[in-house]
Amino acid sequence: MARGDNRDKQLSAPTEFAAGNGLLDRRLFLQGGMAIGSAMLLSGTDAAAAGETAIDPRPKWMREPGAEFRPYGFPSLHEDEVVRFASPNRVMRNNGASWTPLHLLEGTITPNGLHFERHHNGVPSLDPEQHRLLIHGLVARPLEFFMSDLLRYPLRSQICFLECGGNSNAGWNRIPSTAEAGYFHGLASCSEWTGVPLATLLHEAQPGEGVRWLIAEGADAFAMHVSIPLEKAMGDAMLALYQNGERLRPENGYPLRLILPGWEGVLNVKWLRRLELSDRPAMARNETARYTELLPSGKARIFSFVMEAKSLITSPSSGMVLRQRPGLYQITGLAWSGRGRIRQVDVSADSGKTWAPAELQEPVLPKSFTRFRIPWRWSGAPAVLKSRAVDETGYVQPERKVLLAERGRHGFYHYNAIVNWAVDEQGSVSHVYDDDDQDLGDHPPVDAGWD
């Protein structure tokens, strides 16, 4: 095990520590000079047995033909735990959400079958041949499109995250959630969307004087409708028909949905059927009674639109165990900001006393999931891991204490505080608060239900 000894000696050199409690320089992985070293070292005889020898070493799957072709692929049967976690409303099963298992995924793109879902009254089974989009209201030329009409326009693709305004809302609770990272923060996913820039169609409809808002309506049994400022509609808004190269999944809005990159999920109307141009917002249920919050001043925060920067260590994270204790680990996670690119992600292994910058995996795209990584040498002692995102506007992801002081105790939406994962001496990882929540005043428990 001479190689392993060497590696340990190298890593204990003090110059390579980037911050307290074992965080190492982010470039160590990139330089290729550091392997985790978890492969089994074969003895000479093992190595011979692995090749062509007297005993047939071939596993059973090499001794019979494999499965046949199939028209549409599924994940390996061995990956059957990589699934969404669904939490329907107790009263109405068609209303609820399902979370993306962020802690079980890698890279930055969410597979279509694992994109989170949020429906207020189920997934409509609508006929794409009959479905139409109407653009009307304060316009010179009201227009109606079949899906085949929309598909004739020049299409454009854009990678961006989609996040429900209610994502991570368990963070408002006094008791730390015990859910896995994805089942706590996974009302967020990231896809490549392809469709028609909304501005193209709005120009054709010729908006009248005084148009300031667009009221968008979905063709589901909830008839979701929300209001969108004209500037966003004329900016990077898109009418998406495709998701990661294939037509939208029914649960994500087939055959047509609105995509407003970086803006809260509820505005991204699925099964889109109507866009009404108006001089005022609709003041609909989901922009007044919901997706707003009462502040300590007694005023309500409404039309918050942009999802502020957030980051989250996905591994190691809540519910995992560091098996090779103590030793060298890769800390990895995701960061995103509705305002643009992620500029930096700092990681701490000592509960925020010291921080080191993580490596950001290229390409770092605006309003998209950004993967970060940093090597960590765990000593075997208890540790608290944190990540903190900074976006290109200079906005810094707040500590929970700061967010609570700003928003008060009536929060339910727009929770983006720094997350703490505690590692105990056994290597078990759990979610903790480090802000002594008892001192932050009394508050009613957050109702985890959806309505």
Ligand X SMILES: Nc1nc2c(c(=O)[nH]1)N[C@H]1C(S)=C(S)[C@@H](COP(=O)(O)O)O[C@H]1N2
Q: Which residues bind ligand X (CB under 6 A)?
A: 115-120, 162, 164, 218, 220, 222, 224, 251-253, 265-266, 268-271
| Residue placing its CB nearer to Mo ion in the complex, 188 or 266 | 266
**Residue 164 binds Mo ion, judged by CB under 5 A:** yes
Task: Name the H helices within 244-337.
Answer: 285-288
Q: Which residues contact 10 (CB under 8 A, 6 or more apart)?
A: 16, 33, 34
Return the beta strands (E) in 219-349 as ranges: 225-229, 238-243, 246-247, 257-259, 272-278, 293-294, 300-301, 310-315, 327-336, 342-348
Which residue's CB comes closest to ligand X?
A: 218
Using CB under 5 A as the binding rule, whether residue 266 contacts Mo ion is answered as: yes
Which neighbouring-strand residues pair with 229?
Answer: 213
In the complex, least distance from residue 117 CB atom to ligand X, rounded to whole angstroms: 4
Which partner, Mo ion, ligand X, none, binds residue 310 by CB below 5 to 8 Å per kind?
Answer: none
CA angle 115, 397, 429 (to 5 degrees): 65
Q: Does 253 bind Mo ion (CB under 5 A)?
A: no
CB of 444 to ligand X, least distance (A): 22
Cβ closest to Mo ion, residue 181 vs residue 187:
187
> Measured from the CB atom, is 54 or 91 closer to ligand X?
91
Q: Which is nearer to Mo ion, 282 or 422 (CB)?
A: 282
Pick 378 or 415: Cβ nearer ligand X? 415
Characterize the bridge pairing of strands 132-137 and 272-278.
parallel
Residue 171, SS3 per DSSP: helix
Binding residues for Mo ion, how many (CB under 5 A)?
A: 4
In whole angstroms, the minimum distance from the beta carbon of 164 to Mo ion comes to 3
Nearest approach, Cβ of residue 14 and ligand X (Å): 47
Q: Collapsing DSSP states into helix, strand and coil, what is residue 176? A: coil
Cβ distance to ligand X smaller for residue 22 or 253: 253
Write the CB contacts of 80 (distance below 8 Å, at least 6 apart in sequence).
Answer: none
Give the position of tokens 């408002």.
Answer: 172
From the CB of 141, what's the least distance to ligand X, in Å?
A: 25
Determine how β-strand 356-357 pairs with β-strand 310-315: unpaired
Backbone dihedral angles phi then psi of residue 164, each to the nearest 5 degrees: -70, 140
Specify the stretch interacting with Mo ion by CB under 5 A; choose among 257-265, 295-303, 391-399, 406-414. Answer: 257-265
Question: Smallest distance from the beta carbon of 185 to ligand X, in angstroms?
Answer: 13
Kindly state the smallest distance separating residue 35's Cβ from ligand X, in Å. Answer: 38
Which partner from the list Mo ion, ligand X, none does 119 bind, CB cut-off 5 to 8 Å by kind?
Answer: ligand X
* CB nearer to Mo ion: pick between 415 and 433: 415
Q: Which does 341 bind (CB under 5 to 8 A by kind): Mo ion, ligand X, none?
A: none
Q: Does 270 bind Mo ion (CB under 5 A)?
A: no
Specify the residue, 192 or 350, whose C-beta has the smaller distance to ligand X.
192
Interacting residue with Mo ion among 171, 176, 218, 265 (CB under 5 A): 265
List the single partner that 281 binds among ligand X, Mo ion, none, CB under 5 to 8 Å by kind: none
Grouping H, G, I as helix, E, B as strand and the rest as coil, residue 200 is: helix
CB atoms within 10 A of CB 100: 24
Contact indicator for 99, 183 with CB cutoff of 8 Å = yes
We find the least distance from the C-beta atom of residue 252 to ligand X, in angstroms, to be 4
Q: How far is CA 223 from CA 87, 256, 357, in A?
A: 21, 14, 45
**What would the two tokens of residue 448 be?**
């985890």
Task: Residue 268: name the closest of 298, 232, 301 by CA.
Answer: 232
CA distances from 356 to 18, 271, 326, 363 (A): 6, 44, 20, 21
Closer of 260 and 417 to ligand X (Cβ)? 260
For residue 26, the tally of other CB atoms under 10 A from its CB is 20
CB of 170 to ligand X, least distance (A): 16
Residues near Mo ion (CB under 5 A) are: 118, 164, 265-266
